[in-house]
Structures are given as C-alpha cells and as structure tokens.
C-alpha cells in the first residue's frame, strides 16, 4: 500500500491556454525547473496574498 501523504491532493483542475500562454508557461518551467502544478500553486499563493484584504472582507 502507498505511503500516507501529509497533504493529499485529490482534486484535478484543467484549463485551456493559448499557444502564447503555453510558450510562456514552458519558459517559466525551463527557467525555474518546476512542474506546471508547482507553478500554478505558487501563482495562487501569490495572488491570494495580494488579495488578502479583499478575501478577508468576503469571509466576514
């Protein structure tokens, strides 16, 4: 049986991107040596921190 993970990821998100966006993503992957998933997680965290005041208002 597989090892239990601390933070299992069961959800899959897919999206459509243009050829230009794909080229940009591949460039980022090559420069950072990160996977698409890691890049998207990092992008979400950056945006979340940028929007924290707005997100806090909506949660209240």
Domain ranges of the chain: 35-60
Give the pLDDT score at 52: 86
20 against 60, higher pLDDT: 20
pTM beyond 0.85: the answer is no
2 against 4, higher pLDDT: 4
Closest to 37 in 3D by CA, of 9, 60, 57, 5 = 9
Euclidean distance between the first and final Cα of the chain, in Å?
42
Tokens 């929007």, located at residue: 51
* Exposure b/e, 30-55, CB count within 10 A at least 16 = b: eeeeeeeeeeeeeeeeeeeeeeeeee
Q: What does the radius of gyration of the chain's CA atoms come to, in whole angstroms?
A: 15
């Amino acid at each position: 049986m597989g090892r239990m993970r601390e933070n299992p990821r069961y959800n899959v998100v897919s999206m459509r991107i243009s050829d230009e966006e794909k080229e940009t993503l591949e460039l980022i992957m090559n420069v950072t040596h990160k996977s698409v998933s890691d890049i998207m997680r990092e992008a979400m965290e950056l945006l979340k921190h940028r929007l924290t005041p707005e997100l806090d208002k909506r949660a209240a």
